[in-house]
C-alpha cells in the first residue's frame, strides 16, 4: 500500500509545486491499453505542507481498458484525509492522450469548494475515445497526466 499506485510496472513521475495562490501536484505515466489485462488503480497520497492551512489527500482513479467502441468510464475518488476545519477549493484535472497525441479528456474535471477534513468527492468520468469516423477505437497506449490543485488555503488573493 504505502500510498503509491499499486502496480509497480507503471512508472509514475511526480511533480509538486507550491505557489502564491495554490499547491499543485501532477502525475505523469503511460498505461498499456491494448494489452491491459485488468483494471489498473491509480492511487496516490499527498499533502500540501501549507503554512497557514495544511491539508492531506488521497486520490484514486480506476483505469479500465478502452474497448473497441471507445466508450470509457473512469471512477475518481478524492478524499481529504486530515481533520482540519479550514475550507479549501480543490480541482482534479486528468488529461489522457492517445497514440497520436490527441487529448481525449478536454472537459474532464472533478472539483469541489469548501472542502474540509474528512470530505470525499466522487465522480465517474465518462467519455467516447473512438478515434475513427466509424466510431472504432484502437489505442495501444494511453499517456496520462493528472493535475490536482489545492487552492484558497493560504492566500486572500481574489485571483
Ligand atoms: Zn496553502
- Kindly give the confidence (pLDDT) of every residue in the chain, 159 residues in length, as a single tens digit, with 9 standing for 90 and above: 444 555 557 899 999 999 999 999 999 999 999 888 899 999 999 999 999 999 999 999 999 999 888 999 999 999 999 999 999 999 999 999 999 898 989 889 999 999 999 999 999 999 888 877 777 888 899 999 999 999 999 966 544
Q: Which fold has domain 12-151?
A: Immunoglobulin-like (2.60.40)
pLDDT at residue 13, rounded to an integer? 97
Distance 105 CA to ligand 1 centre (A): 28
Give residue 54 CA to ligand 1 midpoint distance, Å: 6
C-alpha 104 – ligand 1 centre gap (Å): 31
Residue found by looking up cell 473512438 in the block: 130
The rounded Å distance from CA 143 to ligand 1 centre is 29
The separation between CA 75 and the C-alpha centre of its own chain, rounded to angstroms, equals: 10
Amino acid at each position: 500500500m504505502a500510498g503509491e499506485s499499486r502496480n509497480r510496472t507503471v512508472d509514475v513521475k511526480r511533480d509538486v509545486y507550491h505557489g502564491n495562490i495554490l499547491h499543485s501536484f501532477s502525475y505523469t505515466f503511460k498505461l498499456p491499453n491494448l494489452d491491459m489485462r485488468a483494471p489498473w488503480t491509480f492511487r496516490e497520497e499527498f499533502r500540501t505542507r501549507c503554512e497557514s492551512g495544511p491539508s492531506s489527500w488521497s486520490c484514486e482513479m480506476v483505469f479500465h481498458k478502452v474497448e473497441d467502441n471507445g466508450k470509457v468510464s473512469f471512477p475518481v475518488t478524492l478524499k481529504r484525509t486530515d481533520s482540519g476545519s479550514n475550507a479549501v477549493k480543490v480541482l482534479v484535472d486528468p488529461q489522457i492522450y492517445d497514440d497520436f497525441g490527441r487529448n481525449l479528456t478536454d472537459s474532464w474535471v472533478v472539483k469541489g469548494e469548501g472542502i474540509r477534513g474528512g470530505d470525499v468527492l466522487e465522480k465517474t468520468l465518462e467519455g467516447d475515445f473512438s478515434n475513427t469516423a466509424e466510431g472504432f477505437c484502437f489505442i495501444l497506449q494511453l499517456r496520462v497526466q493528472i493535475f490536482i490543485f489545492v487552492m484558497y488555503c493560504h492566500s486572500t488573493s481574489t485571483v
